[in-house]
A and B are shown apart, each in its own frame.
Chain A
Amino acid sequence: DSGVTQTPKHLITATGQRVTLRCSPRSGDLSVYWYQQSLDQGLQFLIQYYNGEERAKGNILERFSAQQFPDLHSELNLSSLELGDSALYFCASSPSRERGEQYFGPGTRLTVT
Chain B
Amino acid sequence: QKEVEQDPGPLSVPEGAIVSLNCTYSNSAFQYFMWYRQYSRKGPELLMYTYSSGNKEDGRFTAQVDKSSKYISLFIRDSQPSDSATYLCAMSEDGQAGTALIFGKGTTLSVSS
Contact = CB atoms under 8 A, between A and B. Distances in A.
Contact of B100 (A4, A33, A90, A105): A33
A52 to B, nearest CB: 15
A45 B102 contact: yes
A4, A43, A55, A92 — most chain B CB neighbours (10 Å): A43
A56 B32 contact: no
B100 A107 contact: no
B interface SS class: strand
Contacts of B46: 2, 101-104
Interface residues of A, number: 30
A56 B98 CA distance: 5
Interface of B: 31-34, 36, 41-46, 49, 51, 88, 90-92, 94-106
Given A101-B46, A107-B43, 18 more contacts: A33-B100, A42-B104, A42-B105, A44-B103, A45-B102, A56-B98, A58-B100, A98-B96, A98-B99, A99-B99, A100-B31, A100-B33, A100-B95, A101-B32, A102-B34, A104-B36, A104-B43, A109-B41
